[in-house]
Amino acid sequence: MRGRLFAFGAMLAAFLACTAAFGQTPAELLIGRWELASQQRVVDGEAKPDLPVSDETRSTIVFSTDGTWQVFASPHRGSRGTYRWLGPDRIESTTIEAPVPAGNGATRTIAVGVDDRQLTLTVTLSAEELKRASAQAKPGAHYPQTLVIVSTLRRLPG
């Protein structure tokens, strides 16, 4: 009897946790601290191997209720900006401060997939956007026509 009662209690707790997250909107779920878990690139339609997350590339992004975001990364590589929802699965993000001055003021549409544990941000960049954002753009350098970056992040406590 005690075992059944424990199993029922565990099942009820799991149900309540799921229903609490179920009632939240993507805008509510986005708020918080997220750590980069993996990043994939698709260059002109061709998927490249996932980029490993190392001490040098480890980063945390914080989305706040006031429509701002901030990336905390290795020294001198953080950035910050604003965001606004365009729909249930897209935000418009504007960078206010970037590690590369050419990135300041950049506005991009980002696809968002979010639940209570995982966040996926997908941005598609054109060759022109890549040239503008490049710190060392060189005449005649080859840029892909499209670069899709899929960043998967996991929620951090607190």
Question: Is the distance from CB of 130 to CB of 106 less than 8 angstroms?
Answer: no
The answer to whether position 111 is within a domain reads: yes
Going residue by residue through the chain, which has 158 residues, state the pLDDT in tens, using 9 for 90 and above: 444 444 444 443 444 444 345 579 999 999 999 999 999 999 999 999 888 787 777 899 999 999 999 999 876 678 999 999 999 899 999 999 988 887 889 999 999 999 999 999 999 998 888 777 665 556 677 778 899 999 999 999 97
Question: Is the distance from CB of 49 to CB of 38 less than 8 angstroms?
Answer: no
CB count within 10 Å of CB 157 equals: 5
Instruction: Report the run of H or E that residue 33 belongs to, with start and end.
Output: strand 32-43
The answer to whether position 135 is within a domain reads: yes
41: its two tokens: 């690139």
The answer to whether position 62 is within a domain reads: yes
The answer to whether position 141 is within a domain reads: yes
Question: How high is the pLDDT of residue 135?
Answer: 55
Q: Which residues have a Cβ under 8 Å from the Cβ of 7 and sit 6 or more positions away?
A: none
Show the domain range for 146.
24-155
